[in-house]
Amino acid sequence: MTERPRLAVVGAGPAGVAGALAAAARGVRVILVDAGEQAGGQFYRQPAPALGARRPRLPDHRWRTWERLRDGLDRHRSAGRLIHLTDHHVWCVQRESGEPGTAEGAPAGRGSTAGGFTVHALRGPAQEEGVTVRADAVLLATGGYEQVLPFAGWTLPGVVTAGGAQAMLKGGLVLPGGTAVVAGTGPLLLPVATGLAAAGARVAALVESASPGALLRRAPALAAQPGKLAEGAGYAARLLRHGVRTLTGYTVVAAHGTDRLEAVTVAALDRDGRLRPGGARRIPCDTLAVGHGMLPHTDLAETLGCTLSGTAVRVDAEQRTDVPGVWAAGEATGIGGAALALAEGHIAGRSAAARLHGTAPDPRRWAAAARARTRLREFATALDAVYAPPAGWPDRVPDDVVVCRCEEVTAGQMRAATGSLGAGDLRTVKLLTRAGMGWCQGRVCAPAVAGLTGCPLDPGRRPFARPVPIGVLADLPEADRTDLPEAD
């Protein structure tokens, strides 16, 4: 076979770009398929060029990292080694059952040989036109999305996810209003609060449910990350400069307003995550940016048959899933941030290149990335322990609160499904209440439903990673192999 092997990389965030560059540099033809108009993903999200902004709001070292990645993409693209399909929204990746004509994609010692793969995408912002791309192997770098646990009033316009506020600010250079409260738990809240403040919003409070004690107890693990600590200290200093009041050990219990947000009530938590009597206060605001950590996007991996571990895709030391020919990296394999995603993506790209050339990779060649991966995963585990949602949150959600935002299913309906109708898992709660049957397919409400009903949070099965026009399905090519866009 003279033609160079092809690797499809799904997602052009840090993991996908790092993987694409590593593979393209090693003789693999890379097709980078991404939903964005520009590479970068959520973390390196760029303002639309027409907006004329100089650069995204990032600390300087991060900006330099991104410039390197972007220049690498440009270089490989102009050399014909990489195709970047922007505005391509992947809804399914299928393994071809056909003849094992591309056996070189099979990782050694993994049993059966891999066939090729077909990546099914929808093109354009309206996502109406079907496109398929063939490849010998796939790197899933599908990223993650934010988890928000419900409270009274969380469906009011003006209540947005912390990541959503950040995305609107980074990509659209726009703020939802004049006075914001940033709330929830997790390391994302700090940059969101400083970003909003720097952009001109009045940040009335940063409300973090983790207690200062929890942060202290994990101090040794966190202190092993001097870079991260310095970054955190930098954010803290900026908050101080903007006069942002920080309330740790507090949680939002209600958002108020009729047709839009007017205020929030926050309350102090005790050590067990229960409300402290008399600790509530009302803060007027027109924006609430709220988040409780992140969840991995695992739909494509699940449909390919990759084994998941908890809510993340399980990978080995080379970032291989247990489906031959499928690699995964970044938040999809466990939430850990952009630096970890870069390390994982780099390892995945190198491993895939070696395997696609029929050789076993030498892990010593990526020892630095592997060390960074180990360190950053430990840090992520420590962060998880600190920033767990407060234990008592489900008890504070009144029965009349809409929890499934799409199908408008209330907490009370969900409790009744498990209470008297015999549901014992998320799927049955869904069948009996419609929670999770709407447009978002339960991505937003699943953690909340799990918490409210006591059912385990399983990642769910979504063969369509996004809604697909019936016409696109009807017009699927008979044989699952079609057009590959040419690089030159």
Residue ranges in 17-56 that form contacts with other proteins under rule CB under 8 A:
35, 37, 42, 47-55
In whole angstroms, give the CA distance from residue 345 to residue 332.
11
- The binding track of 283-322 with respect to other proteins, each residue x by CB under 8 A or -, is ---x----------------x-x-----------------
Comparison of 157 and 310: residue with beta carbon closer to other proteins: 157
Among 64, 281, 473, 481, binds other proteins (CB under 8 A): 473
| Length of the chain in terms of residues written | 488
Answer positive or negative: Cα dihedral of 458, 473, 480, 92.
Answer: negative
Q: How far is the CB of 370 from other proteins (least distance, A)?
A: 30
Helix segments in 150-291, DSSP class H: 162-172, 189-198, 212-217, 219-223, 226-241
Q: Is 422 in the site for other proteins (CB under 8 A)?
A: yes
Residues in 60-99 that interact with other proteins by CB under 8 A: 92, 94
Question: What are 90's two structure tokens?
Answer: 């992947």
Comparison of 280 and 416: residue with beta carbon closer to other proteins: 416
Q: How far is the CB of 172 from other proteins (least distance, A)?
A: 3
In whole angstroms, give the CA distance from residue 149 to residue 389.
8
Query: Nearest 5°: phi and psi at 359?
Result: -120, 160
Q: Is 457 in the site for other proteins (CB under 8 A)?
A: no
In whole angstroms, give the CA distance from residue 349 to residue 20.
6
Q: How far is the CB of 123 from other proteins (least distance, A)?
A: 13
Site size toward other proteins, by CB under 8 A: 88
Let me know: does 347 contact 340? Beta carbons within 8 Å. Answer: no
Q: How far is the CB of 291 from other proteins (least distance, A)?
A: 10
Distances (CA, A) of 366 to 180, 343, 346, 351: 43, 9, 8, 10
Residues in 137-176 that interact with other proteins by CB under 8 A: 145-146, 155, 157-161, 163-169, 171-176
Residue range at the interface with other proteins (CB under 8 A); choices 58-66, 323-331, 366-374, 441-449:
441-449
Comparison of 378 and 425: residue with beta carbon closer to other proteins: 425
Among 438, 482, 484, 487, binds other proteins (CB under 8 A): 438
SS3 46: coil
Name which of 451, 440, 154 is nearest 290 in CA terms: 154
Q: How far is the CB of 216 from other proteins (least distance, A)?
A: 32
Among 27, 80, 98, 178, binds other proteins (CB under 8 A): 178
In whole angstroms, give the CA distance from residue 101 to residue 116.
8
Answer positive or negative: Cα dihedral of 57, 60, 65, 71.
Answer: positive
In whole angstroms, give the CA distance from residue 262 to residue 287.
8
Among 282, 365, 461, 481, binds other proteins (CB under 8 A): 461
Question: What are 196's two structure tokens?
Answer: 């909003």
Cα–Cα–Cα angle for 390, 396, 398, nearest 5°?
Answer: 150
Q: How far is the CB of 152 from other proteins (least distance, A)?
A: 13
Comparison of 42 and 185: residue with beta carbon closer to other proteins: 42
Distances (CA, A) of 322 to 2, 9, 325, 384, 472: 28, 17, 9, 26, 30
- The binding track of 334-353 with respect to other proteins, each residue x by CB under 8 A or -, is --------------------
Residues in 238-277 that interact with other proteins by CB under 8 A: 259-260
Q: How far is the CB of 113 from other proteins (least distance, A)?
A: 18
Residues in 202-241 that interact with other proteins by CB under 8 A: none
Q: How far is the CB of 70 from other proteins (least distance, A)?
A: 18
Comparison of 54 and 364: residue with beta carbon closer to other proteins: 54
Among 428, 457, 458, 487, binds other proteins (CB under 8 A): 428
Residues in 390-419 that interact with other proteins by CB under 8 A: 402, 405-408, 417
Among 74, 128, 395, 483, binds other proteins (CB under 8 A): 128
Helix segments in 335-464, DSSP class H: 338-356, 367-386, 411-419, 426-433, 446-453
SS3 125: coil
Comparison of 226 and 422: residue with beta carbon closer to other proteins: 422
